[in-house]
Structure 1
Amino acid sequence: MSTYEGSFRVWRGDTGGGELTDFTVAVNDGEVVLDVIHRLQATQAPDLAVRWNCKAGKCGSCSAEINGRPRLLCMTRMSVFDPAEVITVTPLRAFPVVRDLVTDVSFNYTKAREVPAFVPPKGVAPGEYRMAQIDVERSQEFRKCIECFLCQDTCHVVRDHEENKAAFAGPRFLMRVAELDMHPLDAAGDEGLDRKRTAQDEHGLGYCNITKCCTEVCPEHIKITDNALIPLKERAVDRKYDPLVWLGSRIRRRDS
């Protein structure tokens, strides 16, 4: 097994401020960035704060920025970098720093609570739900989300404009709205909830200009923009501006 001395620049600090600190750390074949961060903790910086859990790319805990790109520390292999390259590891820029590489991502949990949950259809008992396989497959893609919030971090609407956070849910939760809106068993409409309208008026769908940066950083390769956000935008526009759709929404359905 070959080993080389890698050059790292890691952000150290807390809510009061901080700076990038240079380290030289041993790197072995087959390792990921999280392995090196753990070795750095064990040998040089025992107080370095980093959030992680599964080390298998499924918990979403070890989100950070590596050379400016939002990534999972445990899924970024050292082999993708030149051994002579200085690797910069910084916390997620869109969220407040707690300490070192750990950020306060509570913004995302606040937005999650603002999305109304699935509304079960009336008269259908648990275990009696039936869906076409194609509908199962459509929503299953979005269920792969591991809540790493890399898409939230890279979205420039959140990342570059702090003032937008109050009115914008971000791609992860607009994807959740899209999933519920296309769910054939969601009876939100029967309860007076129009998910397309709320996506536009309450969750800030109009702020998204489909740059696809969220899709590019998703470790689960979910096509957030193409399969969730663009179709949701199209349905929202139809709902609001298409005269036939508008008229149809005003006609009350007769009870069978």
Structure 2
Amino acid sequence: MGYQAHLRVWRGDAEGGELRDFTVEANEGEVVLDIIHRLQATQCSDLAVRWNCKAGKCGSCSAEINGRPRLMCMTRMSIFEPDEVITVTPIRTFPVIKDLVTDVSYNYQKAREVPSFSPPKDLQPGEYRMQQQDVNRSQEFRKCIECFLCQNVCHVIRDHEDNKANFAGPRFLMRIAELEMHPLDSLEENTGADRTAVAQSDHGLGFCNITKCCTEVCPENIKITDNALIPMKERVVDRKYDPILRLLPWRKR
């Protein structure tokens, strides 16, 4: 059975904007993105919204719904009361381009700064071998759809614009952790660069104070803090302060 949903949607651009009220038809089984599309089709043809798969796998339709960062395509209308006002605003950490679309190029810049996977030089393609337990360890991090909701809620960059130059954010610190855990990654042997040291010195791992807000909003339920960031922080401390590792550097790996 259909009903009239009450929406409050942010309209504007980089120069400024405001929340505007709309009434839009909603039907059983729909998600917030369906309602935004109907609003776009019937009342606001110039409404800017980014989306692609509508299946929770592309990460494009990130927004803040009633103040909580979510994917619009995975937020069912049934979680709201029919008479409830649903507020939809762009994710707050990144500059607005127009309406619900933000400029997330910061994230792609940080992605380019992460050293890529570096296999042993004497190992040829097709010769890679891993234990299943090593596959399982990093497989969780591969589920990331790069919706950047974790980046959006991280107060290190959300509340402090000047930190962006020196902090990669949870998504890319998790990427570094994933590579550092890979048994075939030989960046240190190949280049002399230690991933944990690079995470600390170049990507701002020390800024993270493990509030777990990134984990709370992850639509893939990746335990970013517990399984990636905290273990990497521990390894940074081990390498810097453990007297055995300082005396026997070959024990580091």
Q: Secondary structure of 2:248's partner?
A: helix
CA distance, structure 2, for counterparts of residue 130 and residue 251 of structure 1: 22
Paired position in structure 2 for 1:100: 99
Residue 250 of structure 1, CA deviation: 7.4
CA distance, structure 2, for counterparts of residue 13 and residue 238 of structure 1: 49
CA distance, structure 1, for counterparts of residue 204 and residue 11 of structure 2: 34
Q: CA RMSD in A?
A: 1.4
CA distance, structure 1, for counterparts of residue 129 and residue 50 of structure 2: 40
CA distance, structure 2, for counterparts of residue 117 and residue 177 of structure 1: 9
Paired position in structure 2 for 1:198: 198
Matches within 5 A, 1:1-256: 2-190=1-189, 191-249=191-249
CA distance, structure 2, for counterparts of residue 79 and residue 211 of structure 1: 30
CA distance, structure 1, for counterparts of residue 223 and residue 72 of structure 2: 21
CA distance, structure 2, for counterparts of residue 203 and residue 8 of structure 1: 39
CA distance, structure 2, for counterparts of residue 129 and residue 87 of structure 1: 50
Contact kept? 2:55, 2:74, Cα under 8 Å: yes
CA distance, structure 2, for counterparts of residue 151 and residue 50 of structure 1: 20
Contact kept? 2:245, 2:252, Cα under 8 Å: no
CA distance, structure 2, for counterparts of residue 246 and residue 202 of structure 1: 22
2:135 maps to a residue whose letter is: V
2:137 maps to a residue whose letter is: R
Q: Secondary structure of 1:143's partner?
A: helix
Aligned length: 252
TM-score by length of 1: 0.96
1:114 maps to a residue whose letter is: E
CA distance, structure 2, for counterparts of residue 182 and residue 197 of structure 1: 14
Output one character per residue of 1:197-241: Cα deviation in whole Å (capped at 9) or x when no partner. 011111000110111110111111111011000000000111111
Structure 1 residues 41 and 213, CA, compared in 2 at 3 Å: closer, same or farther? same
CA distance, structure 2, for counterparts of residue 187 and residue 251 of structure 1: 15
CA distance, structure 1, for counterparts of residue 15 and residue 185 of structure 2: 46
CA distance, structure 2, for counterparts of residue 63 and residue 246 of structure 1: 45
Q: Secondary structure of 2:51's partner?
A: coil
Structure 1 residues 252 and 136, CA, compared in 2 at 3 Å: closer, same or farther? closer
Q: Which runs of 5+ in 2 are unaligned?
A: none
2:243 maps to a residue whose letter is: P
CA distance, structure 2, for counterparts of residue 208 and residue 252 of structure 1: 23
1:119 maps to a residue whose letter is: S
Q: Which runs of 5+ in 1 are unaligned?
A: none
Output one character per residue of 1:99-122: Cα deviation in whole Å (capped at 9) or x when no partner. 000000000000001100000112
